[in-house]
Amino acid sequence: MRDILRQTWRFVWIASTGPGRYLSLFLLAVIIACQLTAIQVTLRQVQWSADFFNALQKIDAQAAVAQIGVFAILIVISAALYLVSRYCKRLLQFRWRQRLSEVLLDRWTITKAYWFLHPSLGSEKSIDNPDQRIAEDCSMFPEFILGGHDGVGRAGVLDFIMSLIGLVSYVMLLWQLSTFALQFSLFGFEVEIPRYMVWAAPIYVALSTALTHLLGRQLPGLLMEEQRREADFRFALVNLRENASAIALSDGDAADRKVITNRFADLFDVWRRVIRREFIYGMFTRPYFQSVLRIPTFLALPAFLAGKVTLGGLTQLAAAFGNVVTTLSWLIFNYKFMSDLVATTRRLQGFMNATDSAASTAGTLQRRVSGDCKLDIRDLNIFAPDGRMLLGIPALSIQQGEAVWLSGASGLGKSTLLKALAGLWPQADGALSLPAGKLVFMPQQVYMPLGSLRDAAVYPADPDDVPAATVDRLLRAVDLGARLDAGDDNASGLSVGEQQRLAIVRLIVAKPDWVFADEATSALDLEAERRVMELLRNELPQATIILIAHRVPHGLGEVRRVSLGDHGPMPGEVPDRLPRLSIG
């Protein structure tokens, strides 16, 4: 419990600090002021209850009508306080969600934790469903703290704290009203309990709370598991949509349907356990909910029947006792809500712990930037996540302005070499002396960001920073002008070959000093490859271009071949021109 309280406070502090914190504090102050005022209105409504029913008992029509007017005024004030408080809560919830999302996104992206914690690296610290943490948990946490905004206005932790403040007033009022004692005989002894209404409330609630916790203590873990299974099922559906073409061409409908069905079966299993536990928990809480507002009347009934209180006094006692019991019963009323809060806080804390440790995944590879404008590799060893040796390079130097072709067998670790050069592969050791200047890496799978074709062509640059005429000229130069002419500026739906042409434009726009490309033209025919590579060399005449490929690159002029294998790199040269083959 102490850990949960500490973690909850940590996220409240994160949400309430940072840019715009003074506005957030002002909104919080307005909410607190409204709720404190609402406590006073509630106390006045308790007094109103006594005045109204006493007037009815005396058959005093004038006094009863006057109390109806008082009731109307109290309702208007109460409604206004509720609406203002609810409006400020909604604003504050969004601001807290924005702040939490920014903090988690910074941790997820700035240090590349999204990569270092990727399951493909075999990290034990990988995060399941990080999108859920950022999208859903950052939204749910402020709601749990400040209170829900659904139709019934679900209470939050802040409401509970304010209720505890009001509890002092309610107990004092109940003490003032409970001037009589409960008298009864027990085993021949006369027992008298003075102000028994005051003592009955905490005893009644304490027993009920203990029973509620006993029946519902398994809910937090089950709800956390349910959220994870929901996210897994949703991811399987998204995966089907994102890979629709490949699945359809492979006729993999049945296989993917089986995966989705299994994910849903896992979800259904945990969901069934949740509703079973909710049923057991509800066997006590539901009767408690329905009877809690009647119990005060039953407890005060002996005093009324003994003539010690009037009808108005009975209703006033019941109202005061009800407020005390309702406040003390907050955990019973909101046990599932608290379980959700605990599960959400644990997920957020797990995210923070994992991103904190992302930097520690770095291996013993030494990377430094040299001033001699060359790439120098010494005693580089690259390992698979399971510890297997993939590739070893005793020594390799590449001078500025060269065009180098890195060749080798499939599965050797060539693509992993590029990740190690970029500082993205922790399972490596050795020494890298990197050249000064701008280094740009082109991965084997071309990333297609959300947005237009022009946006994708300049990624990750800001489209406003690149002249549109330049982008259009380059797109036409790689044979993507037909899309522009047809008015199709959508980046989705490009073939693999078109994506690789787009990536060449992206390289040119970036204007790097060093280019590291992985299978940059594997989906292009030789003539198309020659054209785009000539364009790349003409646009970047001084750049060093390092290509990983299974075939000889065309269009770059003189290319030095480095064959990677069991015995390290084997340098050599290949001609730019190959003999033409005719098939007839």
Q: Annotate 40-89 with DSSP letters as a single string.
A: HHHHHHHHHHHHHHHHHHTT-HHHHHHHHHHHHHHHHHHHHHHHHHHHHH
Q: Which residue has better confidence, 411 or 359?
A: 411
Q: At a CB cut-off of 8 Å and minimum separation 6, what does 263 contact?
A: 229, 232, 233, 236
Q: Which residues pair with 395 in a beta bridge?
A: 378
Q: What percent of the chain has pLDDT above 90? A: 21
Closest CA to 346 of 220, 481, 496, 205: 220
Q: What is the pTM of this model?
A: 0.69
> Are residues 314 and 297 in contact, defined by beta-carbon separation less than 8 angstroms?
yes
User: What six digits make up the tokens of 92?
Assistant: 């504050």
Q: Which residue has better confidence, 189 or 351?
A: 351
Q: What percent of the chain has pLDDT above 70? A: 91
CA dihedral 242, 246, 247, 248 (to 10 degrees): 110
Q: Residue 567 pLDDT > 60, yes or no?
A: no
The dihedrals phi and psi of 439, each to the nearest 5 degrees, come to -110, 130
Q: SS3 for 86-140, per residue?
A: HHHHHHHHHHHHHHHHHHHHHHHHCCCHHHHCCHHHCCCCCCCCHHHHHHHHHHH
* C-alpha–C-alpha distance, residues 520 and 576, integer Å: 17
Q: Please state, in angstroms and as integers, the Cα–Cα distance from residue 117 to each residue in 103, 308, 354, 422, 576, following that order.
A: 17, 70, 8, 16, 41
What would the mean pLDDT of 527-539 be, rounded to a whole number? 93
What's the pLDDT band for 25 if we cut at 50, 70, 90? very high
What's the pLDDT band for 577 if we cut at 50, 70, 90? very low
What's the pLDDT band for 491 if we cut at 50, 70, 90? low
Evaluate whether 2-359 and 364-574 have a shared fold: no
Domain 2-359, CATH number (from 3.40.50.920, 1.10.10.10, 1.20.1560.10, 3.40.50.970): 1.20.1560.10
Q: Three-state DSSP class for 352?
A: helix
User: What six digits make up the tokens of 549?
Assistant: 């490929």
What's the confidence (pLDDT) of residue 583? 28
Q: Residue 152 pLDDT > 50, yes or no?
A: no
> Are residues 285 and 212 in contact, defined by beta-carbon separation less than 8 angstroms?
yes
What's the confidence (pLDDT) of residue 507? 93
> According to the per-residue pLDDT averaged within each range, which of 181-185, 532-536, 568-572 is highest?
532-536
What's the pLDDT band for 156 if we cut at 50, 70, 90? confident
Q: Find how far residue 579's CA is from the centre of its chain.
A: 56
Q: Three-state DSSP class for 14?
A: helix
Q: Which residue has better confidence, 428 or 307?
A: 428
Closest CA to 408 of 189, 566, 225, 246: 566
Q: Which residue has better confidence, 297 or 471?
A: 471
> Are residues 265 and 281 in contact, defined by beta-carbon separation less than 8 angstroms?
no
DSSP labels for 523-541? TS-HHHHHHHHHHHHHHST
* Residue spans per domain, the chain: 2-359, 364-574
Counting DSSP H helices and E strands in the chain, the numbers are: 21, 12
What's the pLDDT band for 566 if we cut at 50, 70, 90? low
Q: Residue 173 pLDDT > 80, yes or no?
A: no
Place of tokens 């044979």: 479
> According to the per-residue pLDDT averaged within each range, which of 132-136, 218-222, 244-248, 254-258 is highest?
254-258
> Are residues 322 and 177 in contact, defined by beta-carbon separation less than 8 angstroms?
no
Q: What does DSSP assign to residue 402?
A: -
Residues found in the chain: 584
Q: Three-state DSSP class for 578?
A: coil
| Span of 131-145, 169-183, 458-472 with lowest mean pLDDT | 169-183
Q: Which residue has better confidence, 358 or 366?
A: 366
Domain 364-574, CATH number (from 3.90.870.10, 3.20.20.10, 3.40.50.300, 3.40.50.10420): 3.40.50.300
Q: Which residue has better confidence, 282 or 541?
A: 541
What's the confidence (pLDDT) of residue 506? 92
Q: What does DSSP assign to residue 464?
A: G
